[in-house]
């Protein structure tokens, strides 16, 4: 059966797939992550937003197993197809997810009570979901000590808390057209910053706070 796509109005074929044993009908080519979430099957995720056309696949938390594929794949990049069989919580997938989140936790400060995002932080929720402590046991903490940018009247930017998910970079470019926030430096030094590491107040940032709205942790916070 064909149904009009919500976005483009073009008729799309409906297909059947199975996720964790549950039979689901979905639009052919829809992204597996959204199909699962819309059908009440939680797959951890951090770096994607519904409005993104291309998934950055940066956090690696949404790994799943698909029959016929030799390796786990990211649900945010996979399109659903007829007869697809997906398993979201196999021991292998859970192990990889735990590793991915341990790495994020190791590079994130853990003074949560003093953070403006405490209790609404996605990293806290994910750690809780995966039954992980926010202080890594196995990994040496990798927290950087970068200066906090308090220059902007509306926005506070603490890049020590940044998980490099890239949501703010995307929203700053695609939503506001400004492209003020960007990835800078390389390797372990990679961070989100501004051109030439200028303070936000000197960049033409309008203070729309879209970046703070999509930041999963307390790296970008409204001052109010």
Q: Which residues of the shown chain bind ligand FES in the complex (CB under 6 A)?
A: 45-48, 55, 57-62, 74, 76
If the CB atoms of residues 64 and 156 are measured against ligand FES, the closer one turns out to be: 64
DSSP symbol at 82: T
By the 8 A CB rule, do 111 and 121 touch? no
DSSP-assigned letters across all residues of 163-210: ----HHHHIIIIITS---SEEES-GGG-EEE-GGG--GGGTT-----H
Instruction: Report the distance separating Cα 12 and Cα 31, nearest Å.
Output: 13
| Shortest spacing between CB 202 and ligand FES, in angstroms | 32
By beta-carbon proximity to ligand FES, the closer residue of 45 and 193 is 45
CB of 165 to ligand FES, least distance (A): 7
Question: Between residues 23 and 54, which has the closer beta carbon with respect to ligand FES?
Answer: 54
DSSP state of 86: E
Residue 164 CB, nearest approach to ligand FES (Å):
11
- β-strand pairing of 11-19 with 2-4: antiparallel
Nearest to 221 by CA among 148, 157, 175, 145: 157
With contact defined as beta carbons under 8 Å apart, do 115 and 121 qualify? yes
Q: Of all residues in this chain, which one has the CB nearest to ligand FES in the complex? A: 76
Closer residue to ligand FES, CB minimum distance, 76 or 155: 76
> Measuring CA to CA, which residue among 156, 157, 207 is closest to residue 178?
207
CB of 195 to ligand FES, least distance (A): 26
Rounded to a whole number of angstroms, the minimum distance from the CB of residue 62 to ligand FES is: 3
CB of 100 to ligand FES, least distance (A): 9
Nearer to ligand FES, 149 or 216 (CB): 216
Quote the CA–CA distance of 110 and 92 in Å, as a whole number: 27
Residue 19 vs 62, nearer CB to ligand FES: 62
- Burial zone of 48 (CB within 10 Å; 0-12 exposed, 13-18 middle, 19+ buried): buried
């Amino acid at each position: 059966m064909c149904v009009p796509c919500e976005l483009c109005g073009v008729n799309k074929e409906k297909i059947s797939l199975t996720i964790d044993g549950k039979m689901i009908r979905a639009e052919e080519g829809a992204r597996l992550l959204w199909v699962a979430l819309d059908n009440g099957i939680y797959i951890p995720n951090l770096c994607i937003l519904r409005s993104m056309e291309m998934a950055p696949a940066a956090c690696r938390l949404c790994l799943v197993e698909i029959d016929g594929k030799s390796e786990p794949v990211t649900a945010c990049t996979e399109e659903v197809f007829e007869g697809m069989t997906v398993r979201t919580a196999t021991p292998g997938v859970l192990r990889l997810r735990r590793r991915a989140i341990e790495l994020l936790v190791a590079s994130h400060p853990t003074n949560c009570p003093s953070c403006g995002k405490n209790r609404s932080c996605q990293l806290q929720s994910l750690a809780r979901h995966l039954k992980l402590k926010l202080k890594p046991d196995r990994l040496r903490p990798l927290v950087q000590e970068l200066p906090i940018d308090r220059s902007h009247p509306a926005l506070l930017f603490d890049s020590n808390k940044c998980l490099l998910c890239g949501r703010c970079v995307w929203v700053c470019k695609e939503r506001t057209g400004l492209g003020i926030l960007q990835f800078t430096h390389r390797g372990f030094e990679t961070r989100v910053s501004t051109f030439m590491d200028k303070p936000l107040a000197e960049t033409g940032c309008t203070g729309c706070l879209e970046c703070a709205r999509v930041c999963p942790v307390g790296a970008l916070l409204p001052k109010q």
